[in-house]
Amino acid sequence: MATTSSDLPVVLTIAGSDSGGGAGIQADLKTFQEHDVFGTSVIVALTAQNTLGVHGVHEVPADFVTAQLDAVASDMDVRATKTGMLATSELVHTVVKGIRRHGLTNVVVDPVAASKHGDALLAPEALATVRDVLLPVATIVTPNLGEVALLTGVEVTGTDDLDKAAEAMKALGPQWVLIKGGHLPDNLEAVDLLFDGERMIEIATARSASTDTHGTGCTLSSAIAANLAKGMDVPSAAQVAKDYITGAITHGLRIGAGIGPVDHGWPRRPVPPTDDAQAR
């Protein structure tokens, strides 16, 4: 029997391609597959990238970004949309026009400004466009602390600053904000803060010692989008996504000579035996 769209929700990622497979479109599609949704994509930029860094970026012309988005959204019942690397102000405008034109909902915005290695993935002049044009259409935005500083000017140095960061991001227009605070030295439980203008909800998991963390932001935001497409509310979608990315980081892959990728397929990998089991 054929599977229908009601059984397998369609999710769209609009982002850049990572030739190394750890982040971007590739990470998004792997995440969608692991969450039992049907992944579609609009590629806004190609990157020459590996675990050591980004070695080149080739932006896709805006009219072809529009063609990709129109092709998917005019034919399929897109239940959630995630945006990642959008590169330039022109491409941000192009994507937002497409979101509005097709009435796309459950929009998850990962406001990607730089790679895990610090390589710029967003033109400086595009920051204002992200802030003024993209964030107001977001169901939820998922900035890291560096992106919070770029977009709001709020510097987060400890967990006491997370409330202020959430309020500053919420003022830019998204329905929900998820501040990713796991890198803070005083954040022993890797607490992220979810805020809708009224409720401050802490989402905590155990901190992982893994340094193979390439693709964490892309994967988290894609997992949220997949869960929203399956009918979860925002707090539930964020909590399930947080649990998933924590496992993916804990099982990070030693691939390449630099920062390895998280393991998107960790839930279906065999559990390694414990020392006690090996002793028996």
Instruction: Please report, for the domain that includes residue 248, its CATH number.
Output: 3.40.1190.20
Strand partners, 11: 39, 80
- Cβ atoms of 8 and 38 within 8 Å: the answer is yes
Q: Which two tokens stand for residue 1?
A: 């029997």
Catalytic: which of 215, 242, 252, 260? Answer: 215
Catalytic: which of 213, 219, 252, 260? Answer: 213
Residue 252 domain-assigned (yes or no): yes
Residue 147 domain-assigned (yes or no): yes
Q: Percent of the chain at pLDDT above 90? A: 80
User: Is 152 marked active-site?
Assistant: no
Cα(38)–Cα(227) distance, integer angstroms: 12
Ramachandran region, residue 190 (left: φ > 0; alpha: ψ -120 to 50; beta: rest): left
CB neighbour class for 80 (10 Å; exposed up to 12, middle 13-18, buried from 19)? buried
Catalytic: which of 218, 219, 242, 246? Answer: 218
- How distant, in Å, are the alpha carbons of 77, 92, 160 from that of 152? 34, 18, 17
Residue 262 domain-assigned (yes or no): yes
User: Is 213 marked active-site?
Assistant: yes
Strand, helix or coil for residue 173: coil
Residue 278 domain-assigned (yes or no): no
Confidence of residue 2 (pLDDT cuts 50, 70, 90): low
For residue 279, the model assigns a pLDDT of: 43
Strands 200-203, 192-195: pairing kind = antiparallel
User: Is 242 marked active-site?
Assistant: no
Find the domain containing 227 and state its range. Answer: 10-266
Catalytic: which of 216, 219, 230, 252? Answer: 216
Confidence of residue 7 (pLDDT cuts 50, 70, 90): confident
Q: How many CA atoms lie within 13 A of 59 on its CB side?
A: 15
User: Is 180 marked active-site?
Assistant: yes
Out of 177-186, 188-197, 204-213, which region has the weakest mean confidence (pLDDT)? 177-186
For residue 234, the model assigns a pLDDT of: 98
Per the structure, the count of domains in the chain is 1
Catalytic: which of 170, 180, 230, 242? Answer: 180
Largest CA distance in the chain: 63
Per-residue pLDDT tens over the stretch 19-76 = 999 999 999 999 999 999 999 999 999 999 999 999 999 999 999 999 999 999 999 9
Per-residue pLDDT tens over the stretch 222-266 = 999 999 999 999 999 999 999 999 999 999 999 999 999 999 999
- Cβ atoms of 248 and 266 within 8 Å: the answer is yes
Out of 71-75, 117-121, 147-151, which region has the weakest mean confidence (pLDDT)? 117-121
User: Is 217 marked active-site?
Assistant: yes
User: Is 181 marked active-site?
Assistant: no
Residue 167 domain-assigned (yes or no): yes
Residue 276 domain-assigned (yes or no): no
Residue 180 domain-assigned (yes or no): yes
For residue 106, the model assigns a pLDDT of: 98
